[in-house]
Structure 1
Amino acid sequence: MPDVATQVHSHPGAVLDWVGMDGIEMPVHFDAGNGDVQRANARVGVFVDLAQPDRRGIHMSRLYLLAGEYLGARPLDAPLLESLLRAFLVSQQGLARHARASLRFDLLVRRAALRSDHAGWRAYPVSIDACLDSAGFRLELGTEVTYSSTCPASAALSRQLIQQQFAHDFDVAAPLEHAAVLDWLGSERGIVATPHAQRSVARLAVRFAAGVPLNLVALIDRVEQALGTPVQTAVKREDEQAFARANGANPMFCEDAARRIQRVLDGDDTLTHFHVRVEHRESLHPHDAVAEASKPAPGKPHRAGATPSIGTAVLEQATDPVR
């Protein structure tokens, strides 16, 4: 059968960085480090460069078939993806020198309620990007952590209004009665102002030391514990009250949140690099408050704004480059 993609191009001289397919629907299996191998519905991208300027196109269907063969074989890990990329290059019969694959799916993690005996599921977005080029094999893993943040400035201003209301309602010259104060504290006048809080997102970029096992769930747990108020799943009244208490005791600016994550990741000797971007999606105004912190990779300068859309964790791989 004719294959016009292999014909000589009518405008030779142009090489293409990447050619392939994106958004391929495909099941994958993934162990996030807790031993729970999950089946996920992924969106997959497969690419190679077109290094031969006189060739019209690549063997695109071969990438699709190889992705289905390799990704369905066993749970995702770095060796599997490196093998897949090398198979991509072999399949192109000299047309390509570099290969890439990307995967997007959700990881479900069971989370217990704060006080009640209930539990529910949290879906964490996961991105995996693998590349094989002249620098060797690299694998990136991304996720997000969603949490609640109460504004410290708003909390202080709210406390001031409550103090003013108390001074108005209770005569300084009159003796205070315990029952009267207790009733006042339980009334709407005792909480005339409340601080604003908002749903916030932390995006992470982490480089693991070579040979360190990937444990995405442990990374998420450390970040959520540092923040103190991750969003909840199953919530009864006692859980909501516990969450309100945690927010009241845990006000934070975006700068505070970034530093908390920075501190916990800085103390992890399995990590050689990280980049943190936190976004507080303010309820006070329509724009976000943003803070970033990083520990640059060895030999690389600090570069602000480098975090991918949902964060990236980079696994250092001691593999041979494509020559």
Structure 2
Amino acid sequence: MPDVAFDKAALARPLDGVGMANIAIPVRTRSATGEPMQVPASVDVHVDLRDPDVRGIHMSRLYLRLQHAFAAEELTPAGLERVLHALVETQAGLARSARLAIRFDQLLLRPALASANAGWKRYPVQVEAVLDDGRLALHLHVSVDYSSTCPASAALSRQMAAEAFARAHGLEGQVDATGVRDWLHSEAGLVATPHAQRSRAHVRVRLAEGLDALPVVDLVERLEAALGTPVQTAVKREDEQAFAALNARNLMFCEDAARRVAAALASDPAVVSFEADVAHFESLHAHDAVARVTGQGAAA
């Protein structure tokens, strides 16, 4: 059968990347407790085309090589490197580099804050793997949602509560504990509430060489511990109350959140370098509050 890919190219020049985007394949990952999980993924694949005179690559070979590449074994740095080498080899000398971008959702079972319930939580993940002249570079993207309560709004709310209490009970003399408790329980005692919003941290880290596994779960755990108020799954009234108390102890601007994320990544032994973006989806404004930070990890 004719193969016009080998026809001489018009406007001859080498190409940095040629391939396909959004290929559907299954991948295997692990839960927080180590059980294997198979999840659907969307994959982009590219190889370079170094010969300026060759018209095109063998795309079908890339597609077929990927179909079962990650279905039978866990997604690991060693497995990614092996597949990338195979992708280059499918091109029979036309390519020297290959790139994969693999997107999937990491599912983790999260316990409630106070009740005995639990629920699954989705974390968007992207793995970028590049093999260039035989050397592997790995980047890992993870997004984590959390709650942020505005420190300025909290301070203003406390001021209004103090002023309302003074108006209700006077500035002189003492008020018995029962009276204070009853006032706090009444509608009059809730004068103002600070604004809070769902927020998101998105990080891209360059991973150290020689890792046995992709540290997806560890990275999620580090980020949620640093931010302190991850969004919840199963929520009963006692869990909602615990979450409200947690937010009250964990006030933050987007600048605070970015610095917390940076501190967590800077101490990570699996991270060479990082880029982090945080966004607070404001309930006060029609726009978002955002911050960005970059830096070196402990593996630099």
Counterpart Cα distance in 1 of 2:93 and 2:266: 44
Q: Which residue is 1:307 aligned to? A: none
The alpha carbon displacement at 1:297 in A equals 7.0
Counterpart Cα distance in 1 of 2:91 and 2:139: 24
Instruction: With the length of structure 2 as denominator, give the TM-score of the two structures.
Output: 0.92
Q: Unaligned regions of 5+ residues in structure 2, if any? A: none
SS at match of 1:143: strand
Counterpart Cα distance in 2 of 1:279 and 1:72: 34
Q: Please state if 1:239 is matched with 2:247.
A: no
SS at match of 1:71: coil
Identity of aligned residues (%): 51
The alpha carbon displacement at 1:178 in A equals 3.1
- Contact 2:113 2:242 (C-alpha < 8 Å) held by counterparts: yes
Instruction: With the length of structure 1 as denominator, give the TM-score of the two structures.
Output: 0.86
| Superposition map of 1:63-212 within 5 A | 63-134=62-133, 136-173=135-172, 175-212=174-211
The alpha carbon displacement at 1:175 in A equals 4.6
The alpha carbon displacement at 1:233 in A equals 0.4
- Contact 2:271 2:297 (C-alpha < 8 Å) held by counterparts: no
The alpha carbon displacement at 1:91 in A equals 1.3
Q: Which residue is 2:13 aligned to? A: 14
Q: Which has the higher contact order (CA 8 A, sep 6+)?
A: 1
- Contact 1:34 1:215 (C-alpha < 8 Å) held by counterparts: no
Counterpart Cα distance in 2 of 1:142 and 1:38: 19
Counterpart Cα distance in 1 of 2:29 and 2:197: 31
Q: Which residue is 2:27 aligned to? A: 28
One-letter code aligned to 1:21:
M
Q: Which residue is 1:291 aligned to? A: 291
SS at match of 1:58: coil
SS at match of 2:65: helix
Q: Which residue is 1:305 aligned to? A: none
- Contact 1:32 1:216 (C-alpha < 8 Å) held by counterparts: no
Counterpart Cα distance in 1 of 2:155 and 2:36: 46
CA-to-partner distance for each residue in 1:132-170, whole Å, 9 max, x for gaps? 113721122211111000000000011111112112211
SS at match of 1:53: coil
Q: Please state if 1:38 is matched with 2:71.
A: no
Q: After TM superposition, what 4+ stretches of structure 1 lie above 6 angstroms from structure 2?
A: none
Counterpart Cα distance in 1 of 2:270 and 2:49: 37
CA-to-partner distance for each residue in 1:156-190, whole Å, 9 max, x for gaps? 01111111211221123465243332211111211
Q: Which residue is 1:266 aligned to? A: 266
SS at match of 2:67: helix
Counterpart Cα distance in 2 of 1:262 and 1:202: 11
Counterpart Cα distance in 1 of 2:241 and 2:32: 32
SS at match of 2:234: coil
Counterpart Cα distance in 1 of 2:257 and 2:176: 41
Change (3 A) 1:280 1:24: same
Q: How many residues are aligned here?
A: 299
- Contact 1:148 1:198 (C-alpha < 8 Å) held by counterparts: yes
SS at match of 1:102: strand
Change (3 A) 1:33 1:109: closer
One-letter code aligned to 1:196:
H
Change (3 A) 1:153 1:272: same
Change (3 A) 1:95 1:33: farther
18-27 or 68-77, which deviates more: 68-77
- Contact 2:262 2:293 (C-alpha < 8 Å) held by counterparts: yes
Change (3 A) 1:211 1:52: closer
One-letter code aligned to 2:40:
N
The alpha carbon displacement at 1:65 in A equals 0.4
Q: Which residue is 1:321 aligned to? A: none
Change (3 A) 1:174 1:139: closer
Change (3 A) 1:67 1:292: same
Counterpart Cα distance in 1 of 2:270 and 2:40: 30
One-letter code aligned to 1:145:
V
Change (3 A) 1:96 1:287: same
